[in-house]
Structure 1
Amino acid sequence: MGGKVIVVGALNVDITLAVDRIPVVGETVISSQVSRSSGGKGANQAYAAARTARTAEVAMVGAVGADEAGDAQCAELGRAGVDVSRVRRVAEPTGLAMIAVDIAGGNIIVVAPGANAAPIDRRTLEFRTSDVVVLQLEIPFEQVRRVAKHARSAGAYIVLNAAPAHASAKALFAIVDLLVLNEPEAVQLLDVDVASSAELSAAAAREKVDIIVTRGGNSILMAFGSDGSVAEVPTHQVAVVDTVGAGDAFVGTLAAALAEGHTLNDAVSRACAASAATVTVHGARHPELSESLIERMALAAATPKRMPQLNPTIAKEHS
């Protein structure tokens, strides 16, 4: 595509608590360690895009508070190579996420939006046909809808990571080009059994959108709205430390690869490598994430069966 990656979404401070297990309702557990870092789905995706891009420029659109946390957010993204000139400073405090991570790397997250709820300035929404626009659902839904419509009218390629999932997201399916979901989100929004290639194929054809379903350490499923074909990409087998940010690393790396003209198959392979690298460290952002790191991981994992087809009658590349 040769365009820019423009991520529109949330910027948060992450406060992460390490616990032996995730508490149930009414239970108190003791954390063995507390850490503070930068986060927010949008900001994490912009970070991954910038760190893994070869040539694509990456810009972040969002809002932070006029506080130290906002300064830190913008500074970290800037160091990663993200253009933060479209990040507004507002009166509300910078968004905050409280995260509990258990010994197996699983997590629960509670987010206080803060500045992320501030209206987006239309002047920051300048899109071109060559751009890849990345959206999530951590900012108010009506803002996401407005951005999606604006990007569509400009002819940009739109990636929607429909997380956190809620039913209203279905209204965006007809606007976006690529829908990225994890298994629970796919069940909630598409009403499919993700183990069934036929159901996923039918959903893609019905919604007329390309769909990617991430399945943790199992595999990545892709279903194409144009012809209903379904493909499976194996994931990397790594020692999991912390799953926070793995999906964001996937989406950001995917967007950067698409902006640079990679096919969707190749972009997914690169995104798998970035996601796998991210789960091997604590926090949502791998400090050494780079194009060279994911290429080394992708090369190490490559096999003659890199792209087994769930539908053996379809074996063509999709761009």
Structure 2
Amino acid sequence: MSRDVVVVGSANVDLVVEVPRRPGGGETLLGGDLQRLPGGKGANQAAAAARCGADAGIVACVGHDADGAFLRDRLSAAGVDTSTMIGVDGATGTAIIFLTPDGENSIVVSPGANAALDIERAEQHAAAWTGSRVLVLSLEIPAATAFRVAARAAACGTRVVLNAAPATRIAPETLRLCDPLIVNEHEARAALGDDTTDAAGLAVEDYERLAGRLREAGACSVVITLGPAGAVVAGGGAETPTRVAAHRVPVIDTTGAGDAFVGAVACELARGVDLVEAVRFATAVSAVSVQRVGAQASYADRAEVEAFIAARAETPGATATPR
């Protein structure tokens, strides 16, 4: 069965604790109540795509444990087909998240079962991702798997969206498959092998040039998300790098907002929307998500996002596209 969007990626249980600030070395802090929420970049992206109206599925590995069952249930509830999730020996992936009052977070991921998503296991469900309109990949699974899947899917005519996170250098042969490559400011520089230590100090114009460099290196199209500066889009109908502004909203929790953005872009591309307009819609999806706690738990359905867009049509703001 051909689907709009298939994600080959990670699935984690998020253990979230609200803290007054990030702890220093050797320091113990008292935090709020522990929350157990569904997460993982791949699962988040699939859930966001489904919430936006896409017929979405996911290929991911989870353990034969309560956490794996929890993730299957939560994804099914979001409208994602979980029939291609793979049970493996070992623990389901886990992310430990410290959430500060400004809505920012610090995250430590224990990959667990996600590390078992090798090429052989991904190939078990090749019919799902080679037959989809849009394939979404990120790098919380083995990079060799992601890059192999991208190459085979592209050869079958599937549009490949690569969210190159965590940051890593991307070989030209993989860049050429990306339509788009979605990265934040640090990941954008890492994709080209640049030093990322001073990335936060660069201006929007620098990222417009960087988007151009990524296209010159082979990427079919590029989206760089820039926090308060919005996003830069190159290719996909935007041959000159185009800035898309974000929305001014109160931020409660940024966890998973970038994944909401990626899933929403994939949904819109599968519907035939051009890349700039897909990014505009995705910016609204992520703006809604940061006003709530959690990743998948914060994702709105399409009707709510469209109501948000309509309500702000006469007074657009510009801040905080998630990284």
Q: Which range, TM-score by smaller chain?
A: 0.7 to 0.9
Q: Which residue of 2 aligns with 1:108?
A: 106
Letter of the structure 1 residue corresponding to residue 302 of structure 2: E
The reply to whether residue 243 of structure 1 matches residue 281 of structure 2 is no
**Structure 2 residue ranges without an equivalent (≥5):** 319-323
Whether the 8 Å contact between 1:162 and 1:169 is mirrored in structure 2 is no
Deviation at 1:168, TM superposition (A): 4.8
Whether the 8 Å contact between 2:238 and 2:276 is mirrored in structure 1 is no
Partner Cα separation in structure 2 for residue 294 and residue 267 of structure 1: 13
Q: Which residue of 1 aligns with 2:31?
A: 31
Letter of the structure 2 residue corresponding to residue 140 of structure 1: P
Question: Which of these residues, 205, 209, 214, is aligned with residue 198 of structure 1?
Answer: 209
Deviation at 1:30, TM superposition (A): 2.5
Question: Which of these residues, 152, 155, 158, is aligned with residue 156 of structure 1?
Answer: 158
Deviation at 1:208, TM superposition (A): 3.6
The reply to whether residue 263 of structure 1 matches residue 274 of structure 2 is yes
Q: Which residue of 1 aligns with 2:294?
A: 283
Whether the 8 Å contact between 1:8 and 1:62 is mirrored in structure 2 is yes
**Secondary structure of the corresponding residue to residue 167 of structure 1:** coil
Partner Cα separation in structure 1 for residue 203 and residue 220 of structure 2: 16
Partner Cα separation in structure 1 for residue 171 and residue 182 of structure 2: 12
Return the TM-score normalized by structure 1. Answer: 0.88
Partner Cα separation in structure 2 for residue 179 and residue 83 of structure 1: 25
Once the two structures are superposed, the pairs formed by residues 1-319 of structure 1 within 5 Å of their partners are 4-53=4-53, 56-118=54-116, 119=118, 120-126=121-127, 127-128=129-130, 131-168=133-170, 172-190=174-192, 191=194, 193=202, 195-196=204-205, 197-224=208-235, 228-287=239-298, 289-302=300-313
Paired residues, number: 304
Instruction: Calculate the aligned-residue CA RMSD, in Å.
Output: 2.4
Letter of the structure 2 residue corresponding to residue 36 of structure 1: R
Partner Cα separation in structure 1 for residue 211 and residue 191 of structure 2: 12
Deviation at 1:128, TM superposition (A): 4.7
Letter of the structure 2 residue corresponding to residue 45 of structure 1: Q
Partner Cα separation in structure 1 for residue 254 and residue 92 of structure 2: 23
Partner Cα separation in structure 2 for residue 202 and residue 227 of structure 1: 14
Partner Cα separation in structure 2 for residue 171 and residue 248 of structure 1: 24
**Secondary structure of the corresponding residue to residue 250 of structure 2:** coil
**Secondary structure of the corresponding residue to residue 68 of structure 2:** helix
Letter of the structure 2 residue corresponding to residue 68 of structure 1: A
**Secondary structure of the corresponding residue to residue 136 of structure 2:** strand
**Secondary structure of the corresponding residue to residue 114 of structure 2:** helix
Deviation at 1:287, TM superposition (A): 4.8
Whether the 8 Å contact between 1:129 and 1:157 is mirrored in structure 2 is no
Whether the 8 Å contact between 2:130 and 2:152 is mirrored in structure 1 is no
**Structure 1 residue ranges without an equivalent (≥5):** 308-319
| Distance change in 2, residues 1:106/1:260 (3 Å) | same
| Distance change in 2, residues 1:299/1:145 (3 Å) | same
Instruction: Report Cα offsets for 1:206-257 as digits up to 9, x if no partner.
Output: 3343111112233111112787411111111110000000000000011011
Q: Which moved more, 1:225-234 or 1:242-251?
A: 225-234
Deviation at 1:170, TM superposition (A): 6.0
Q: Which moved more, 1:102-111 or 1:193-202?
A: 193-202
Partner Cα separation in structure 2 for residue 3 and residue 13 of structure 1: 25
Whether the 8 Å contact between 1:12 and 1:97 is mirrored in structure 2 is yes
| Distance change in 2, residues 1:169/1:203 (3 Å) | closer
| Distance change in 2, residues 1:306/1:230 (3 Å) | farther
Partner Cα separation in structure 2 for residue 76 and residue 41 of structure 1: 14
Whether the 8 Å contact between 2:179 and 2:236 is mirrored in structure 1 is no
**Secondary structure of the corresponding residue to residue 85 of structure 1:** coil
Partner Cα separation in structure 2 for residue 175 and residue 131 of structure 1: 14
